[in-house]
Structure 1
Amino acid sequence: MEFVIIFLALILCYAFLRTIFSIFRHTKPNNLPPGPTPLPIIGNLHLLGDQPHQSLAKLAKIHGPVMILKLGQITTLVISSATAAKEVLKNQDVNFASRHVPDALTAHNHSQNSVVFLPVGNRWRTHRKILNLTIFSVNSLDANQHIISQKVKALVAYCQKASQSGDSVDIGRAAFRTSMNILSNTMFSKDLADPYEDSGKDFKEVVRNIMVESGKPNLVDFFPVLRKFDPQGIRKRMTQYFGMIYDIFEVLIKERVKMGTFERDDMLDKCLKISQEKPDEFDHLAIKDMFLDLFVAGTDSTSNSLEWAMTEVLRNPHTLAKVKEELEEVIGKENIVQESDLSKLPYLCCVVKETLRIHPPFPFLIPRKIETAVNLNGYTVPKDTQVLVNVWAIGRDPNMWEDSLEFKPERFLASTLDLRGKDFELIPFGAGRRLCPGLPLANHVLHVMLGSLLNNFDWNLDYETQPDQTIDMKEKFGIALQKAEPLCVIPVPLK
């Protein structure tokens, strides 16, 4: 214990001296955006708390929608209004297109191959094009409709089994398994998560661990001088988890290459064909990094959004009755929602939009970084500033939304706002050239899962997890915004 204390003290002294040196070495730019006065060394870190998206939304009410803070050694710009977000993500998109890379995601040099973190350029455009070609194009989505339908049927069957025994379903975990198997079948033509069991040591648990580590506050991200020490061991653990994932992908790739033909025409087949044609641009390591991005970004965010949607619907009886009535009229009770049904289910679509407005999966999107000083709304933003777009605050802005804190899907019935990054009041998937490429798939899966669960069952709260029969609405901040307490509910057969 004494050694640990001495070691941490030495690290803090080292960080202190480096920070003091940097203060004297750099002159403070003039005309910075407004923001709270930073303290020595820690800057404004003490103001974040355990719910940074909420804390920064409150600070923005004092200092304005374009606000600058010092988080340790990192200068950080926080955007908290639709107007300011449009300036950053559209009008000056080219100046704000680079990424701030969390230290955890440098494990195995993942960020150097990740389409999420690659700088905008030829390699980034190549990877985006491959993603669109292999999984996110209209043709690919149409070709994979049967996979989504099949895995949602498995989810409903799992809930039917629980209803027969009177057991509760952890909605988030069930949706996580379903999302993972939709992705794994689209990519590899096989399940990578057991739809009925939690073994604790399987692929999905490794992905879960990656999400947990990615969401932890990391001292290195606020004090880069500590990078060589990795004081919390986050990068070390991420290196282990990434290695486990890469080993699984390597086995799948070798099996497919050994087959000699690419007859399955899934994402792996398509990527291997591209790799054979352009080995210098897209090798096997790039394939593995792309697959890792898809699992990390596409499982937790979708399952969290479904859990929030179910939560809001179940605590709003009027909404529940209205969406179930629409489902019964359009597709009939106890049927699975298909992609072709969605255009005839406007209220279900409104429920999803309202969920993403008030519970965006990534409250700050993915942090950006500016490479050179820029002018924004008359202020000078220094080079290397991290940029956070607080979409959680934008979605709850009372200047933009009537009854902004209330769950009212009806607000979208006569609205033309959509989720594709054109309407900056509602940008849960981002906007501009860094718009999430997985938006079409995630949005589709979310609608189909939510509609199918509501159309096949009534739902009761679990007395063991919710003894007072109320649903806890506390948030747990991380790389994706989760419910602090899982939604555990009992499926009841329809009468």
Structure 2
Amino acid sequence: MAILILFFCFVTFLVFMVKLRGRNKLNLPPSPPKFPIIGNLHQLGTLPHRSFHALANKYGPLMMLQLGQVPTLVVSSADVAKEIVRTHDVVFSNRPQRTAPKIFLYGCNDVGFAPYGEEWRQKKKTCVVELFSAKKVRSFGSVRQEVVAELVEGIREACGGEKARVNLSEMLIATANNIVSRCVLGVKCDDAKGGSFGVLGRKVVGHFSAFSVGDFFPSLAWVDSLTGLLPEMKATFAEIDAFFEELINEYESTKTNNDESDAMDFVRTLLHLQESGRLDFQLNRDTLKAILVDMIIGGSDTTSTTLEWAFAELLKNPNTMKKAQEEVRRVVGINSIVDENCVNQMNYLKCVVKETMRLHPPVPFLVARKSSSSVKLKGYDIPSKTMVFINTWAIHRDLEQWDNPEEFIPERFEISQVDLKGQDFQFIPFGSGRRICPAISFGLASIEYVLANLLYWFQWKMPDIGILMQNIDMTEVNGITVRKKVPLHLEPKTYDMIM
């Protein structure tokens, strides 16, 4: 086996050298020195967005890396990102076919990771209209209210103890999971029917962030079987597949004639559209399940991560916390009910959310793109089949675009017209262009509503363990999203107790 591995490594090296000679004739973007075979793979680090940011400071905002056998373009400026998603959007609208998405998304048969083309357009259109339109987002208001009411009640019960303490990070994960799963599947992740899915979802997230040899050395993809990675992924996939199969079978056996409700969950909506012949693409069972996985994993993790970072920054900045709470309580007034009409009037709260997404974009790299043909970019030659990472984390910290970019200053958005919907390229937490995340309104509605309730109903402080608010641990851990490494263990006190 050792001889076989050495042989394949030797062949890989020869292929690499042949391709390198051809590419040396092109005018490629600047590149750090690389090692044979692995290229720049050793420079990924544990937090690639930070590693690439440091390299970009030395080699420029348009940088070419060789990650194993994969030529990779790293973009770290708003100007270059704009040219990619506006001038050359079609060329850069494809996705690399990576190991985890191929397994868990049924051969990338979803929306987020599907190849660019007409079928992808129809799938995205259906998702936008049937789950993420303004009308549909409003229709799910009752779901958000019910799930957040349970969150508030759980925290309030903890306040009744002698020494109130909650793991707010865990509670935010459960809340985000339940909002998304209720809207998409019609069940909560933590009830009797969906109890196992919350755990399964976390396993899937872990697999997406695992290192796969095949992602960087396609000719050595078989190594992932030897390391046990592929068997583990396939075992988790079998559990996910069985969960969705049972759920869909139950829906099909209990369907009613009342499936025209605006608040109908997404899986029932898709099945109804399929039966009525109103879909412009072929919705087989695998496609349906791929889209559902896409919606749940993509929606819940980004929501809980943003909420966790928002709360951490508010704790670190007590004056900002006070200002946000004063606004929330002033707008709610004597009604003692935080409804979504109130939230829409909380302008400073919206600035807090924007500043959180600027400083801590939940996905620090936009989902990787892949060039479908060779193209000129800022005078450089970009070969076909180049993987492209747009480093939003770095763009959001660009000194040419932002004053004091490392500081948490929500007030910057009170006087700025910069928005997060993909038109202002210095601030693109949801991406831009054809591949922009379609769930902007859905995600913001959940984040703002949860945050408003937590700020209204409770006062918050760190447990009395000698940690100053300003010294709260902000260490990151990499995954599909970049989360806080240390969970938020906090002491809440109910608002009505302190009035």
TM-score (norm 1): 0.93
Letter in 2 for 1:50: T
From the superposition, tell whether residues 159 and 181 of structure 1 become closer, same or farther in structure 2 (CA, over 3 Å).
same
Q: What is the CA distance between 1:262 and its match in structure 2?
A: 4.8
Q: Residues 66-465 of structure 1: matches in 2 within 5 Å? A: 66-107=62-103, 110-165=106-161, 166-194=163-191, 202-230=196-224, 231-263=226-258, 265-278=264-277, 281-332=282-333, 335=336, 337-463=338-464
Q: Indicate the residue corresponding to 2:472 in structure 1.
A: 471
Q: Indicate the residue corresponding to 1:51 in structure 2.
A: 47
Letter in 2 for 1:238: M
Q: What is the CA distance between 1:79 and its match in structure 2?
A: 0.4
C-alpha root-mean-square deviation of aligned residues, in Å? Answer: 2.1
Q: What is the CA distance between 1:109 and its match in structure 2?
A: 6.0
Letter in 1 for 2:230: R
Which of 8, 11, 14 pairs up with 1:14? 8
> How far apart, in 2, do the equivalents of 1:163 and 1:229 lie?
51
From the superposition, tell whether residues 463 and 10 of structure 1 become closer, same or farther in structure 2 (CA, over 3 Å).
farther
Structure 1 segments of 4+ aligned residues over 6 angstroms from their partners: none
> How far apart, in 1, do the equivalents of 2:29 and 2:387 lie?
14
* Count of matched residue positions in the alignment of Structure 1 and Structure 2: 484
Q: What is the CA distance between 1:12 and its match in structure 2?
A: 5.3
Single out whichever of 416-425 and 330-339 deviates more from structure 2: 330-339
Secondary structure of the structure 1 residue equivalent to 2:450: helix
Secondary structure of the structure 1 residue equivalent to 2:381: strand
Q: Does the CA contact (< 8 Å) of 1:275 and 1:283 recur in 2?
A: no
From the superposition, tell whether residues 84 and 483 of structure 1 become closer, same or farther in structure 2 (CA, over 3 Å).
same
Letter in 1 for 2:274: S
Q: Does the CA contact (< 8 Å) of 2:148 and 2:450 recur in 1?
A: yes
From the superposition, tell whether residues 468 and 282 of structure 1 become closer, same or farther in structure 2 (CA, over 3 Å).
same
Q: What is the CA distance between 1:172 and its match in structure 2?
A: 2.4
Secondary structure of the structure 2 residue equivalent to 1:151: helix
Q: Does the CA contact (< 8 Å) of 1:358 and 1:392 recur in 2?
A: yes
Single out whichever of 87-96 and 263-272 deviates more from structure 2: 263-272
> How far apart, in 2, do the equivalents of 1:420 and 1:102 lie?
27
Structure 1 unmatched runs, 5+: 1-5
Q: Does the CA contact (< 8 Å) of 2:213 and 2:223 recur in 1?
A: no
Q: What is the CA distance between 1:260 and its match in structure 2?
A: 3.9
Secondary structure of the structure 2 residue equivalent to 1:492: strand
Q: What is the CA distance between 1:25 and its match in structure 2?
A: 5.3
Q: Does the CA contact (< 8 Å) of 1:184 and 1:191 recur in 2?
A: yes
From the superposition, tell whether residues 174 and 140 of structure 1 become closer, same or farther in structure 2 (CA, over 3 Å).
same
Secondary structure of the structure 2 residue equivalent to 1:332: helix
Q: Does the CA contact (< 8 Å) of 1:162 and 1:490 recur in 2?
A: no
Q: What is the CA distance between 1:148 and its match in structure 2?
A: 0.8
Q: Does the CA contact (< 8 Å) of 2:349 and 2:448 recur in 1?
A: yes
Q: What is the CA distance between 1:254 and its match in structure 2?
A: 1.0
> How far apart, in 2, do the equivalents of 1:108 and 1:404 lie?
37
Structure 2 unmatched runs, 5+: none
Q: Does the CA contact (< 8 Å) of 1:107 and 1:238 recur in 2?
A: yes
Secondary structure of the structure 2 residue equivalent to 1:149: helix
Q: What is the CA distance between 1:167 and its match in structure 2?
A: 3.9
Q: What is the CA distance between 1:335 and its match in structure 2?
A: 4.2
Q: What is the CA distance between 1:36 and its match in structure 2?
A: 0.6
CA distances 1:240-298 after superposition (whole Å, capped 9, x unpaired): 22221221111111111112425353222211122224487112221111110011101
> How far apart, in 2, do the equivalents of 1:321 and 1:480 lie?
28
Q: Does the CA contact (< 8 Å) of 2:104 and 2:290 recur in 1?
A: no
Q: Does the CA contact (< 8 Å) of 2:63 and 2:74 recur in 1?
A: yes
